[in-house]
Chain A
Amino acid sequence: MKPETIYGLIAEFGTPAETIHAAERVRDAGFRRWDVFTPFAVHGMDRAMGLRNSKVGWFSFIGGATGYGLGNLMIWFMNDANYPILVGGKPMFSPFAAFPPSYELTILLGAFGAILGMLFLNRLPRLHHPLLKHRRFALASHDRFFIVIETSDPKYSETETRKLLEEAGSKHIETVGD
């Protein structure tokens, strides 16, 4: 039988305030490969973890700009370059008539950008995750809060890390198999 490898240490907390204070301690101890798992987005947790502002906005901006440009280009090509028909003496291409469809395409591709960007940054979908096999971890979607420090973190040490999490106030610490 293969020896079981360890994915990390999982520490359980009961309230968002405890979790935030514990996360601040883990952040200050200099860990890099660790995460907090909560049933809802906890206000202030990003700062407690030392996360920077999310980059999703850039994906959405690029999507939206592409949408607007593409919309105008498409309408110009279709109604002016490739297949011009004169309707009531109106110009073949006008940015005003092209605005409504281009505006909708801005929103459409901006939304695609936001969602695909979010999934890309989160590396989702990822249907197999060591934590999802852990017995108590299902409570992370219910009413508990968890901090997980991975063994792959350079600062990880079985005893020291456990001590840190205990000092941070967790009453329930376990190892998670990989």
Chain B
Amino acid sequence: MAEAVLTTTLKVQAPPRELEREPLVANQRSLGWLSDHIAGIAEGKAPRWWWFAFIPSFFALCVLGAMLAYQISTGVGVWGNNHPVMWGWDIINFVWWIGIGHAGTLISAILFLLRQRWRTAVNRAAEAMTIFAVMCAGIYPALHVGRVWFDWWLFPFPNAHGPVWPQFRSPLMWDVFAVSTYFTVSALFWYVGLVPDLAVMRDRAQTKVRQFLYGLFALGWTGSNRHWSNYEKAYLILAGLSTALVLSVHSIVSLDFSVSQLPGWHTTIFPPYFVAGAIFSGFGMVLTLLVPLRKLCRLEDVITLRHIDFMCKVTLATGSMVGYAYAMESFIAWYSGNPYERFAYSNRAAGPYAWGYWTMIICNVVVPQFFWSKKLRNNLVVVFIISILVNVGMWFERFVIIVVSLHREFLPANWGYFRPSWVDICTFLGTLGLFFTCFLLFMRFLPMIAISEVKGVTPQADPHHPLGGGKPGGHPW
């Protein structure tokens, strides 16, 4: 026995080359190249394409300002909302924008907990997208109350009206807490992730102003390992908290609907169905942004085709979950035997808004199925077109849920039809302007890829890998 133990070799063979994982950063780029290239996007003069994107976005942002001023000074009557469709484009766009934000948190938090190391290449841009999308979303509930100057009544402030407090049995109050927490925590998580990269920007700064500003926001980060130790722990906790948060936010948004007793809204499937749809639409938006940006900023080595491939797979999976939810909703409407519920669903598929329902089904359920093909997942033109169709489809999902459920309720005497006003349309285009203006400014002034995190997933960052100085032939772990 003893001899048998002694003759056993203590070393494990290195894995064969063909079993080694493909590195996440292509073309053997060095650590220094990553800093130079990624930080370089936010340095120097803005490229011409940036101005071509920025000027129309900024114009749309000005349109948003004008529309909001018009709506505040005149009243919500300028929107197309009517009786019985009391919630129109305001709530559709609120839910749509909040949903888009969810992919950013999924990438930054849930994929972090699941140790999906490819997330490092896309998480910064996706989190920025989250923050700007939540800003766009926040405009609508704030404005749809009609008298914006009373918005502070939503928050539990001590006030001079005698004891008058918000009423916490209403899901609308839960929403106030969910959305404001979501915005705050997403922004903090994003900022914490930025701190080491702001230090990179500070150390590279050529002018005094840049050095001062990046230095100020980098908080004096030195890259000390004693700091990294606490930092990594805080980041892990924030990822855990954000996971719990993102699942709750769209669940609470869905409770705005499902706690009411309207056919088409009053279903228990809403929370998971809304969360899956939110992540689906968010990945659509991440792909819409990153497919052109990786080309324009020459980031093909950092956001590789493999990254795009993974994101397409998530889109396919969540799109199919959404399709399942649609099927279940219709099945339960039939199976429940409730005539109002049955009518709500037949009215969706065959009523006056059937075009909206079928646009939703085609964009959300049929179109993502193309992603089963690896060839199509690697074709960037196809990916870009599908990502836009996903966004369109998810917008129509909210349209179907909100407008189509409201326009024909219990009493036929209350039936109506909804058409958006020009103010609705211009306000929506304006929020797109706000979103793209913020995103373009972000990528001009801040590193749009998490530099230190991407460095950490390269082979030369791994102390057990030969490129990181580890002994050749040693087993990685």
A residues apposed to B, CB below 8 Å? 14-20, 23, 35-46, 49, 51, 53-57, 60, 64, 74-75, 78-79, 82-83, 85, 87, 90, 94, 97-98, 100-101, 103-105, 107-108, 110-112, 114-115, 117-119, 121-122, 124-129, 131-132, 137-138, 140-143
A-B interface pairs (CB < 8 A), number: 215
Contact with A along B158-192 (1 / 0, CB 8 A): 00000111111101011001100100110011001
**If A15-B469, A46-B225, A60-B237 touch, does A79 touch B165 (CB 8 Å cutoff)?**
yes
The reply to whether A101 and B219 contact each other, CB–CB distance below 8 Å, is no
List of B residues within 8 angstroms of A75 by Cβ: 168
A15-B469, A40-B452, A57-B237 known; A118 and B231 CB under 8 Å?
A: yes
Looking at the complex, which one of A36, A79, A90, A104 makes contact with B225 (CB distance below 8 Å)? A36
State whether the Cβ of B470 lies closer than 8 Å to any Cβ in chain A.
Answer: yes
Q: Do A110 and B241 touch (CB < 8 A)?
A: yes
Q: Report the minimum CB–CB distance from A123 to chain B (whole Å).
A: 9
Is A40's CB under 8 angstroms from B225's CB? no
Q: B210-226 interface mask toward A, CB cutoff 8 Å, 1 = contact, 0 = none?
A: 00000110011111111
A103-B248, A142-B35 given; A110·B203 CB < 8 A: no
Provide 15 A-B residue pairs closer than 8 Å at the C-beta atoms, listed in order of the A residue. Answer: A23-B225, A35-B226, A38-B223, A39-B223, A85-B167, A97-B169, A100-B255, A101-B173, A114-B241, A115-B234, A118-B231, A122-B231, A125-B220, A141-B35, A142-B31
Q: Give the interface segment out of B123-131, B138-146, B304-312, B453-461.
A: B453-461
Q: In the complex, A73→B184 CA distance in Å?
A: 22
User: Are B174 and A100 touching (Cβ within 8 A)?
Assistant: yes
B178, B196, B221: residue with the most chain A Cβ atoms closer than 10 Å: B221
Given the contacts A39-B31, A39-B455, A142-B32, A17 and B463 also touching, CB distance less than 8 Å: yes
Q: Which residues of B contact A121 (CB under 8 A)?
A: 230
Asked if A40 and B461 sit within 8 Å, CB to CB, the answer is yes
Q: Which one of A37, A60, A112, A125 lies within 8 Å of B219 (CB-CB)? A: A125
Q: Are A97 and B168 in contact (CB under 8 A)?
A: yes
Q: Which of B178, B199, B452, B464 contacts A104 (CB 8 A)?
A: B178
Interfacial chain A residues near B237, Cβ < 8 Å? 56-57, 60, 110-111, 114
Instruction: Chain B residues near A38: list those with CB within 8 A.
Output: 223, 225, 228
Q: Once the chains bind, are B215 and A16 in contact (CB under 8 Å)?
A: no
Interface residues of B in 428-477 (CB under 8 A from A): 452-453, 455-456, 460-464, 468-470
